[in-house]
Structure 1
Amino acid sequence: MAMSVPSLRPDHRTAIAMITPSANLVVERVTNAILTDFPEVSGHFSRTPVFGAKDAFPDDYDWDGMLGAARLLAHARPDIIVWNGSKGANLGFPVDEELCRRITSETAIPATTSTLALQAALAHVRARRIAVVSPYGSAYQDRLVGCFRAEGLDVVAEAHAGIADNLDFAAMSDNAIAAMMREVTAARPDAILSWCTNMPAAYVVDSLERELGIPIFDSTTLAVWHALHLTGALDGRGRRWGRLFEILSPSR
């Protein structure tokens, strides 16, 4: 008698499409790692040129590159398209709102970004006093802090590693990232923002939240979390990636 082999394929499948900077080594790794907790959800990726130590579009997006990546992802008909990049916070939140409008206009697919995910998370935990941790140089960090303040957030502390090259962000060690987070804890912010989707902070968030007693919102993880929420997949799983996964979860 032939044995019955159970299907490993979930009955309902969700596809999350992500645009990532071209020099990024972290987005795919973190997204796929988180999605192991959501076997019915798959991650799919496209890139837009962002590399080196100098941004060719310092005051705006490369709209052709960004929308070109979105159009390619749309061929797979995903449930959502996500810009998993942190630049929107440095340009101003309304720029990411415009990006999502353009992506949806071009593809008829809903869209979100790391920055808009942050906006949602901060609103739901009612956090206004934040600390910002990043790998950036001083000039970029100063501009980032200024943009957060322009959005009405009170930046009570910041720490940055002073790294210039985009690819080098991904080489930061867990210890270096944790040291910056511990440094800003003295100001007792409502939340710590780990801000750069090529800084591999996601792996230390859960342990540091338990140690420090402060929510930590990582830009890469935020994008995945918000996509899961908007597609209806968020249900309490993923908690090992931080308390963020308790926010907006219908099972909580």
Structure 2
Amino acid sequence: MRIIRLGVLVPSSNTALEPLTHAIVSSIQSKDVTISVYFSRFRVTTIDISSEANAQFEFSPILHAATLLADAKVDVIGWSGTSAGWLGFEHDEKLCAAIEAETGVKATTSVLSLNSILRGLGVISFGLVTPYRKELNSLIRQNYGAIGVDINATWDRHLGLTDNIEIGKVDEATLDGMVMDVASKGAHVLSTFCTNLRAAQRVGHWEKSASVIVLDTVASVVWGMLKIVEVDTKLVKGWGYMFEVE
């Protein structure tokens, strides 16, 4: 039996992604592989477009957190965060290269994994559901537009929050309303784009009730890590369409 350790980088104020990640991985029942998850945090408390907030994602503290995961001999490291959505996808590409150079461990991120899923599904437009401010959503839309993926303005929903603790308190009823609203406007694919949203557990419900594909960013980094360690994502049961297709 293969024993695989997943290492996950976590914003320090995030209260959602650890239990969700454990639950996703715990759905894997296999005689051939045993998977465990380990976490390391670095300081992130505020999400906005200010230089102070963006400085939270400088490489040095993230690399320090990654080296602590490497001490546990993890097989892959995933940054479970969406900052590249507004900082630019190349930020995560450079971060993964830096992590690999520093630790010798392959790395991926929520956003890079999401983009791989979008490419694999041939998606050229999708809806966006975030807890962020309008200005930050606009940057995300611009970055996707630059790679030929449209986020239609009528499919863009946000809550205007910046405090990450408050983001972690967003309830299911609020998310249900946002997702259903975007789906009702004609989006066939949408992303719950923030790893401090307690959204991944609702994906199956949304996909069934609204006939929409929901790509959650807590789930996407798990998908990406499993791809790197060559574990069949179809072993993940009950967490959405992204795990069910090649």
Fold agreement, TM-score > 0.5: yes
Paired position in structure 2 for 1:38: 28
Task: Name the CA distance, whole Å, in 1 between partners of 2:233 and 2:88.
Answer: 30
2-structure distance, mates of 1:49, 1:222: 22
- Compared CA separation, residues 246 and 195, structure 1 to 2 (3 A): same
2:5 matched to 1:15?
yes
* Of 139, 148, 169, the match for 1:143: 139
Q: Which residue of structure 2 lines up, in the alignment, with residue 240 of structure 1?
A: 238
Displacement of 1:79 after TM fit? 0.6
TM-score, normalised to structure 1, is 0.90
Unmatched 5+ stretches in structure 1: 1-10
Percent identity, aligned pairs only, is 28
In the alignment, does 2:124 pair up with 1:134? no
Matched residue SS, 2:226 = helix
Which string of whole-angstrom CA distances, capped at 9 and with x for unpartnered residues, describes residues 82-137 of structure 1? 10001111111111111110000111110000011011100111011111000111
Matches of 2:56 and 2:141, distance apart in 1: 17
Q: CA deviation at 1:61?
A: 2.5
Point out where structure 2 has 5 or more consecutive residues left out of the alignment: none
What is the root-mean-square deviation of aligned Cα atoms in Å? 1.6
Q: Structure 2 vs 1, CA of residues 235 and 204 (structure 1 numbering), >3 Å: closer, same or farther?
A: closer
Mapping 1:48-197, distance limit 5 Å = 48-52=42-46, 56-58=52-54, 61-156=57-152, 157-197=155-195
**1:159–1:180 Cα contact (<8 Å) kept:** yes
Does residue 205 (structure 1) correspond to residue 203 (structure 2)? The answer is yes
Higher Cα radius of gyration: 1
- Contact 1:130–1:193 (CA<8 Å) still a contact in 2? yes
Q: CA deviation at 1:199?
A: 0.7
Q: Does residue 19 of structure 2 align to residue 29 of structure 1?
A: yes
Q: Is the 8 A contact 1:59 1:91 kept in 2?
A: no
Which structure carries more helix by proportion?
Answer: 2
Partner in structure 2 of residue 7 of structure 1:
none
**Which structure is richer in relative contact order (CA contacts within 8 A, separation 6 or more)?**
2
Q: TM-score, normalised by structure 2?
A: 0.92
TM superposition shift of 1:53: 5.5
Moved more, 24-33 or 59-68: 59-68
Distance in 2 (alpha carbons) for counterparts of 1:107 and 1:60: 21
CA contact (8 A) 1:135 1:161 kept: yes
Moved over 6 A (4+): none
1:245 partner letter: F
Q: CA 1:128 to 1:190, structure 2 compared with 1: closer, same or farther past 3 Å?
A: farther
